[in-house]
Amino acid sequence: MKPWFYPTLAVIGIVLLLITSFYAIMGYVMGPNIRIGTIDVQKVTAESLTGKEYRDEITAKYNEIGEKIKIAREQKNQQREFELNREFDQFVKDKNDQFAKVMNKKVSEIAKKKKLKAVFPSNLVNYAGKVVDITQETIEGLE
């Protein structure tokens, strides 16, 4: 046998296992009594009080760091400018993660109350029967 045969066979086996697992899970989730929820994450972020608070914090940090970046550019200090950009990117990532946790907790509560099997972002669902939109309830829950 060629030296590439067994690793290739292992990769094919793993891919087949993943594909069959995906269809098995989807078969369970998409059973006859399925109730799927959708949520417009951008709308929740834009309209909920909690989302606005997180955006305001990010904007304040942007303004603060923007001034520091401007000074670093004037001083032609590229290293400091890079560090400030990285600091801001990390701040935004942390704030987005915090908001996602808060929002996901609320989505989970609503999904359990409505007995939904799954909740997907509405921009990922092209078509599904029996879909329940929980966007407005999530917005109200994050007030």
3-state class of 133 per DSSP? strand
pLDDT at 24 over 60: yes
- Rounded to the nearest 10 degrees, how much is the dihedral formed by the CA atoms of 74, 78, 84, 86? 150
Average pLDDT over residues 53-62: 90
Report the mean per-residue pLDDT for the chain.
Answer: 80
Contact 120, 24 (CB under 8 A): no
Specify the DSSP class assigned to residue 125. -
Q: Quick one: pLDDT at residue 109?
A: 92
| Bigger pLDDT: 84 vs 142 | 84
Residues 6+ apart with CB under 8 A from 37: 107, 110, 111, 114, 116, 118, 119, 120, 131, 132, 133, 134
Put simply, whether the predicted model's pTM sits higher than 0.75 gets the answer no
DSSP 35-51: -EEEE-HHHHHHHSHHH
Q: Which helix (H) or strand (E) holds 122?
A: none
Q: Summarize pLDDT for 120-141 with one digit per residue, the tens.
A: 888 777 776 667 778 788 888 8
Residues forming a β-bridge with 39: 121
For residue 128, the model assigns a pLDDT of 67
**Residue whose token pair is 């560090």:** 83
pLDDT tier at 60, thresholds 50, 70, 90: very high
Output the six-digit token pair for 41. Answer: 């994450």
| pLDDT score recorded for residue 22 | 66
